[in-house]
C-alpha cells in the first residue's frame, strides 16, 4: 500500500505564485478571438477583452502573463502596436500561419488585459531583429513617469500613468527562432541589451530574464552563464540577471515530425507523454546544478516560461495556428509538472504553460462566442492553493513502477504545501491508465482534521467539446476516511485529487 508521510514541521521553500503562470503569443487564435475581440464585438467584452475568458482566468487565479511571444517577440516592433488603431501597421505574421497581424492588440491592450486579470506582467523584448534603442525606448514608454520623449508619447496615446513591468525577457529562444545565435554571442548581447532595461520606478525593479536553454542543452547554459558572469562586471551584478529561462515541450509521439493526435492515442501514447513530462525533473536538476556553480544562494530563478504538450493540430485547422484539443492525458501532464515545480520551488521561480488559449496545451478553447474549459484548466484551478504557500516535506513510499517501453513511471506522484492559515494542500496524481491504488496519508500531528477533496478523473482520452463542455470537470471526492489523524483513500486510475486539510 502506498503511504504518504507529511512532515508539518519541515517547510522546504516558498512556492512563488508565478510558477502557475501563462503565456500568450500572437499565434493563431490566442490573442485575437481568444482574449481580444475588439470593442465593437457582439461577444461581451470590456475594452475589447472577452468577459467570459477574463472571468474564468480570474477564477483560476492567473498570477502572471507573458507576451507577445515566443518566436513572435523577436520579430515584434512595439511602435507598430501603439496609437490610433486605424493607423497601426498591418503586417504578415510570418512565423505563425502567414495571416495578417493588424497590431490592434499592442502595449496598451496588454496592460489593460493584465489589469482586468489582476495579474503580473511579463513582457518579452526583441533581440533577434530589434535594436538596443528600440528595447530601451519600450521600457521607457511603459515605465517612465516623468518628462521624456517616450513617456510623453504614452501620455499622448491616452495613458498618463506609467505601468508596472514585473518581468522583462531579453529575447526568446535566441539559439533558434530568435536569431540562431551561439551562446557566447547571445551572452554578450544579453549583457549589452539588459544594460538599457532601466529601472525608473520606486517600486520593485523589473526582473530581467536572460534567454536560456532548449530542454537539455547544458552547453547553452554553461556558456551563457560563463559570459554573463565574466568580468568586467561589478561584484554584485550577479550575471546581470534575475532569471534564466528554459523551454521544454512534451512531444508524446515518435518525433517532432510525427507528434501524434491530441485525442486519439493508446496507453503507449499515454505513458510516453507522462514519461517525457517527468523528464522535467531531470532538466531542472541539470540546469540547476550549473546555476548552483554561479549562484549557490539561488538568487537567480530558473524560469520555465514555455512548457506543455505539443500534439498534431486538430484535423482541418491551419497548421500554423497550433490548435490542439486537451484530454485527461494533458491534465495528468500538467499535474505532474506542477508537482515537480513545487518540489523545486527553491530554484523554479516562474513557469508559463504554452499557451493560454487556443494554442498547444491551453486552459481555454473558444469557437466564436463559445468557450470551454479544458482538463488542464481544472488542474490549475485545483492547484491554485499552492500559490504563495510553503512547500512541506513529503515522502511517498510503496508506489508501483509502471514500465512502458523505455519509460519507468511511478504510479503515484504528489506535492504538499501549507498556506498561511495552516491549511494543507495535497495534490496527488495517479499516472496509471488502468489501476486504482489505496493510499494512506500520515501527518505529523495526530489530531482530528477537517478534510475536503476534489477529483478530476475520466477515461484517458476524455475531453471537453463545444457540444459537451462538462465531460471532464472537477467533482467533490467523498472517499477520504479519517482515523486518529491518519487519512486513507483509494485514488482511481487516471485521476488527480486535491485534498485540503485543516
C-alpha cell of 205? 525593479
Residue nearest ligand AHR by beta-carbon distance = 70
Q: If binding is defined by CB under 6 A, does position 217 make contact with ligand AHR?
A: no
Q: How far is the CA of 455 from the CAs of 61, 377, 498, in angstroms?
A: 19, 13, 6
In Å, how far are 52, 188, 239, 488 from 192, measured between CA atoms?
42, 6, 12, 56
- Check binding of 25 to ligand AHR (CB under 6 A): yes
Least distance to ligand AHR, CB of residue 184, Å: 21
Active site residue 226: no
Q: Minimum distance between the CB of residue 272 and ligand AHR, rounded to whole angstroms?
A: 20
The per-residue DSSP string of 300-346 comes to SEEEEEEEEE--PPPTTS-GGG-----BHHHHHHHHHHHHHHHHTTT
C-alpha to C-alpha distances, 356 to 64, 66, 281, 295, 364, nearest whole angstrom:
11, 10, 23, 32, 7
**Within 10 A of 316 (CB to CB), how many other CB atoms are there?**
6
In order of 59, 429, 451, 501, the CA distances from 447 in angstroms are: 32, 25, 12, 11
State the catalytic residue, choosing from 25, 33, 173, 414.
Answer: 173
Strand ranges inside 58-113, DSSP E: 64-67, 91-93, 99-101
Q: Judged by CB under 6 A, does residue 128 bind ligand AHR? A: no
Cβ at position 59, least distance to ligand AHR in Å: 24
474 carries an active-site annotation: no
Segment 288 to 307, residues that bind ligand AHR, using CB under 6 A:
306
Given the residues 137, 306, 414, 474, select the one marked as catalytic.
306
Q: Find out whether the peptide bond into 70 is cis, omega within 30 degrees of 0.
A: yes
Binding to ligand AHR, residues 50-69 (CB under 6 A): 69
**Residues in contact with ligand AHR, total (CB under 6 A)?**
10
* Cβ neighbours of residue 235 closer than 8 Å, sequence gap 6 or more: none
Q: How far is the CB of 228 from ligand AHR (least distance, A)?
A: 21
Helices (H), 25-165: 51-60, 107-117, 132-143, 149-156
Nearer Cβ to ligand AHR (357/453): 357
Q: Residue 70 interacts with ligand AHR (CB under 6 A)? A: yes
**Rounded least distance, CB 320 to ligand AHR, Å:** 11
Cell of 321: 495556428
Is the CB of 354 or the CB of 412 nearer to ligand AHR?
354
Q: Which of residues 75-94 bind ligand AHR (CB under 6 A)?
A: none
Q: Which residues, 159 to 198, sit near ligand AHR by CB under 6 A? A: 172-173
Which of positions 323-382 make contact with ligand AHR (CB under 6 A)?
Answer: 354-355, 360
Cα of first residue to Cα of last residue in the chain, in angstroms, is 24
Cα 440 from Cα 72, distance rounded (Å) = 48
What is the Cα–Cα distance from 180 to 63, expressed in whole angstroms? Answer: 31
Q: What is the DSSP string of 149-164?
A: HHHHHHHHTT--SPPP
CB of 34 to ligand AHR, least distance (A): 14
Smallest distance, ligand AHR to C-beta of residue 330, A: 15
Is the Cβ of residue 77 or residue 85 nearer to ligand AHR in the bound state?
77
Which of 6, 71, 127, 246 binds ligand AHR (CB under 6 A)? It is 71
Q: Is the Cβ of residue 259 or residue 384 nearer to ligand AHR in the bound state?
A: 259
From the CB of residue 423, how many other CB atoms can be counted at a distance below 10 Å?
A: 15
Closest to ligand AHR by CB, 123 or 396: 123
Using rule CB under 6 A, residue 21 touches ligand AHR: no
Residue 319 or 479 having the CB closest to ligand AHR? 319
Shortest Cβ 354–ligand AHR spacing (Å): 4
Cell triple for 207: 526582473
The residues carrying an active-site annotation are 173, 306
Residues in touch with ligand AHR (CB under 6 A):
25, 69-71, 172-173, 306, 354-355, 360
Amino acid at each position: 500500500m502506498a503511504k504518504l508521510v507529511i512532515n508539518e514541521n519541515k517547510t522546504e521553500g516558498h512556492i512563488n505564485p508565478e510558477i502557475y503562470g501563462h503565456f500568450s503569443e500572437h499565434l493563431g487564435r490566442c490573442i485575437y478571438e481568444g482574449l481580444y475581440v475588439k470593442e465593437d464585438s457582439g461577444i461581451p467584452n470590456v475594452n475589447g477583452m472577452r468577459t467570459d475568458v477574463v472571468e474564468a482566468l480570474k477564477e483560476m487565479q492567473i498570477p502572471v502573463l507573458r507576451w507577445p511571444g515566443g518566436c513572435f517577440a523577436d520579430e515584434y516592433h512595439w511602435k507598430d502596436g501603439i496609437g490610433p488603431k486605424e493607423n497601426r501597421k498591418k503586417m504578415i505574421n510570418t512565423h505563425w500561419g502567414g495571416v495578417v497581424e493588424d497590431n490592434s492588440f499592442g502595449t496598451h491592450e496588454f496592460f489593460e488585459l493584465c489589469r482586468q486579470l489582476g495579474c503580473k506582467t511579463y513582457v518579452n523584448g526583441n533581440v533577434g531583429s530589434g535594436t538596443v534603442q528600440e528595447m530601451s525606448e519600450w521600457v521607457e514608454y511603459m515605465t517612465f513617469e516623468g518628462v521624456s520623449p517616450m513617456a510623453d508619447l504614452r501620455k499622448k496615446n491616452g495613458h498618463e500613468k506609467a505601468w508596472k513591468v514585473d518581468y522583462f525577457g531579453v529575447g526568446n529562444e535566441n539559439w533558434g527562432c530568435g536569431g540562431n545565435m551561439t551562446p557566447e554571442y547571445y551572452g554578450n548581447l544579453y549583457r549589452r541589451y539588459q544594460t538599457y532595461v532601466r529601472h525608473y520606478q520606486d517600486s520593485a525593479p523589473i526582473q530581467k530574464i536572460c534567454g536560456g536553454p532548449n530542454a537539455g542543452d547544458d552547453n547553452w547554459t554553461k556558456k551563457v552563464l560563463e559570459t554573463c558572469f565574466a568580468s568586467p562586471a561589478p561584484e554584485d551584478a550577479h550575471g546581470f540577471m534575475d532569471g534564466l529561462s528554459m523551454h521544454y515541450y512534451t512531444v508524446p509521439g515518435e518525433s517532432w515530425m510525427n507528434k501524434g493526435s491530441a485525442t486519439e492515442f493508446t496507453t503507449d501514447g499515454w505513458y510516453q507523454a507522462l514519461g517525457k513530462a517527468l523528464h522535467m525533473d531531470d532538466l531542472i536538476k541539470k540546469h540547476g546544478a550549473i546555476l548552483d556553480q554561479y549562484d549557490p544562494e539561488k538568487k537567480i530563478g530558473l524560469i520555465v516560461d514555455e512548457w506543455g504538450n505539443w500534439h498534431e493540430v486538430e484535423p482541418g485547422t491551419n497548421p500554423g495556428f497550433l490548435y490542439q484539443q486537451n484530454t485527461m492525458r494533458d491534465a495528468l501532464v500538467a499535474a505532474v509538472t506542477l508537482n515537480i515545480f513545487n518540489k523545486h520551488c527553491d530554484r523554479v521561480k516562474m513557469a508559463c504553460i504554452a499557451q493560454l488559449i487556443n494554442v498547444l496545451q491551453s486552459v481555454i478553447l473558444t469557437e466564436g462566442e463559445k468557450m470551454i474549459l479544458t482538463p488542464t484548466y481544472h488542474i490549475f484551478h485545483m492547484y491554485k492553493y499552492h500559490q504563495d504557500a510553503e512547500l512541506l516535506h513529503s515522502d511517498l513510499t510503496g508506489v508501483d513502477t509502471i514500465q512502458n517501453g523505455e519509460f519507468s513511471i511511478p504510479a503515484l506522484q504528489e506535492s504538499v504545501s501549507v498556506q498561511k492559515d495552516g491549511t494543507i494542500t495535497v495534490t496527488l496524481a495517479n499516472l496509471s491508465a488502468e489501476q486504482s491504488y489505496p493510499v494512506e496519508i500520515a501527518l505529523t500531528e495526530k489530531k482530528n482534521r477537517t478534510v475536503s477533496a476534489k477529483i478530476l478523473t475520466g477515461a484517458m482520452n476524455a475531453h471537453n467539446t463545444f457540444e459537451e463542455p462538462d465531460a471532464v470537470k472537477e467533482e467533490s471526492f467523498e472517499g477520504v476516511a479519517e482515523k486518529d489523524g491518519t487519512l486513507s483513500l483509494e485514488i482511481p486510475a487516471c485521476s488527480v485529487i486535491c485534498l485540503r486539510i485543516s
